[in-house]
Amino acid sequence: DTTVKQNPRYKLARVGKPVNLICSQTMNHDTMYWYQKKPNQAPKLLLFYYDKILNREADTFEKFQSSRPNNSFCSLYIGSAGLEYSAMYLCASSSPGGAREQYFGPGTRLTVL
């Protein structure tokens, strides 16, 4: 079973309000990722967990937070949403090691008004 689930599938948020997105995977993968995808752009890596270690990209360090309470679940948290956060958020997981294929969830479409 190569399933990655994301909740909710659609999220509407007000400017300045917090947003919490959830991801789960059943493959016992050590590594979980969050990407941001905007129209006509490549998916952009925001952060990833290897086991319990969080790695955040330098340019998103202060904008996004995450937690991983157990191996199967991972959240993405935005403390104060801005209009620029409107995008598709994709969660993925992979087995450990570099250059591994990643398995993606269906995404959460976030609209900030």
Q: What are the residues binding another protein (CB under 8 A)?
A: 4, 31, 33, 40-43, 45, 48, 50, 55, 90-92, 94, 98-107
Contact status, residue 47 vs residue 33, Cβ threshold 8 Å:
yes
d(CA 79, CA 47): 15
Q: How far is the CB of 90 from another protein (least distance, A)?
A: 6
Q: How many CB atoms neighbour CB 41 within 10 A?
A: 9
Q: How far is the CB of 63 from another protein (least distance, A)?
A: 18
Q: How far is the CB of 53 from another protein (least distance, A)?
A: 11
Parallel, antiparallel or unpaired: strands 108-112 and 10-13: parallel
Comparison of 17 and 100: residue with beta carbon closer to another protein? 100
Comparison of 48 and 64: residue with beta carbon closer to another protein? 48
Q: How far is the CB of 20 from another protein (least distance, A)?
A: 19
Comparison of 16 and 51: residue with beta carbon closer to another protein? 51
Distances (CA, A) of 78 to 2, 16, 62, 88, 95: 27, 10, 10, 14, 26
Instruction: Enter the tokens of residue 65.
Output: 């937070």
Comparison of 42 and 83: residue with beta carbon closer to another protein? 42
